[in-house]
A and B are shown apart, each in its own frame.
Chain A
Amino acid sequence: MQDTIEREVEIAAPVDRVWALVTEAEHLGTWFADAGAEIDLKPGGELSLTWAENGTSRGRVERVEPPTTFAFRWASVGEFSEENSTLVEFTLSEHDRGTRVHVLESGFASLPKSAEDQVAHHAGNTEGWKIELGHLAEYAERSAA
């Protein structure tokens, strides 16, 4: 099993338009996140993606080569750091008068060991609390048995 995910989509729109949608904050904040985004579009620039229900994820821009290559690291859960992040690489190419978008997300194997640790760092993550409460319930049941 590899720690990468690859996905592809073909879009009936010119590469320039798709490039804009993939790299500009006002668009990223609607199709990637759902409650806004901020991006400093240059290598090393900061990235933030906000979801109405899940709060903000932070990242860092790695590569910007218009209109074909855009890459960033991001921490989908928890604080952003080199270790606690995966690399997302978008590759755009012309295809049949439209655009082919290829996405490769990699680096899941280097994420911090304990999922619970990550969740604990993610303030406001209600899912995390559910997990914690689940463990507590399990613990309580075991103790009672």
Chain B
Amino acid sequence: MISPAPDAEVFAALADPTRWQVLSLVAQGGGATATTLAGELPVSRVAVVKHLGVLDRAGLVESRRAGREVRFAARPARLEETARWMSGVAAEWDDRLARLKRLAESAGPETATEQEAR
């Protein structure tokens, strides 16, 4: 019922729309580099490097050196873990709201007492 949140860094990393785009492009594969990503986005290479740094610290991408270049690949595990946790929280709300609905719509003695009290 009560579970701890995953690393908040994942949320923070994904809160920025440009960073989302960077991650989406990296996830398409092909060993993206900061240079190729900057070519596909309306931001500078320096900005792309910063975004990649945030994504790396959040465990969402991994880098590997290939000659003079650093190539990036997505690490889906962290994203899946966070998505799973979020759907768990959403499911808890569905359960709670279903209980609230049942309680509100029930015509048990509790309801009668409450209506009398009004």
A-B contact count (CB 8 A): 103
Contact partner, B104, options A21, A32, A125, Cβ 8 Å: A21
Q: Does B4 lie within 8 Å of A9, measured CB to CB? A: no
Closest Cβ neighbor of B85 among chain A residues: A108
Minimal beta-carbon separation of A70 from chain B (angstroms): 12
Task: State whether A53 and B1 are in contact (beta carbons under 8 Å apart), knowing that A5-B90, A18-B104, A31-B103 are contacts in the complex.
Answer: yes
Interfacial residues, chain A to chain B (CB-CB below 8 A): 1-3, 5, 7-9, 11-13, 16-18, 20-22, 27, 30-32, 51, 53-54, 57, 76-78, 99, 101, 103, 105, 108-116, 118-119, 122, 125, 127-128
CA distance A32 to B93 in the complex (A): 9
- A17→B15 contact, CB < 8 A: no
Instruction: Report chain B residues within 8 Å CB of A27.
Output: 103
Name B34-87 residues within 8 Å CB distance of A.
79, 82-83, 86
* Contact surface of B with A, Cβ cutoff 8 Å: 1-12, 14-15, 20, 79, 82-83, 86, 89-90, 93-94, 96-105, 111, 114, 118
B8, B10, B99, B111: the one contacting A110 at CB < 8 Å is B8
Q: Are A30 and B6 in contact (CB under 8 A)?
A: no
CB–CB B2/A125 < 8 A: yes
Contact of A12 with B94 at beta-carbon distance under 8 Å, contacts A112-B8, A113-B7 already known: no
When distances are taken between beta carbons in the complex, the residues of chain A under 8 Å from B97 are 7-9, 101, 103
Contact B100–A77 (Cβ < 8 Å)? no
Residues of B within 8 A of A31 (CB): 96, 99-100, 102-103
In the complex, the answer to whether A113 meets B3 with C-beta atoms within 8 Å is no
Q: Are A127 and B82 in contact (CB under 8 A)?
A: no
Q: Are the CB atoms of A13 and B89 closer together than 8 Å?
A: no
Q: Are B100 and A21 in contact (CB under 8 A)?
A: yes
Q: Is the CB of A22 within 8 A of B2?
A: no
**Nearest chain-A residue to B79 (Cβ)?**
A1
Considering residues A7, A57, A77, which has the most beta carbons from chain B within 10 angstroms of its beta carbon? A7
Contact of A13 among B10, B98, B99, B105 (CB under 8 A): B105
Let me know if A113 and B9 touch, CB within 8 A: yes
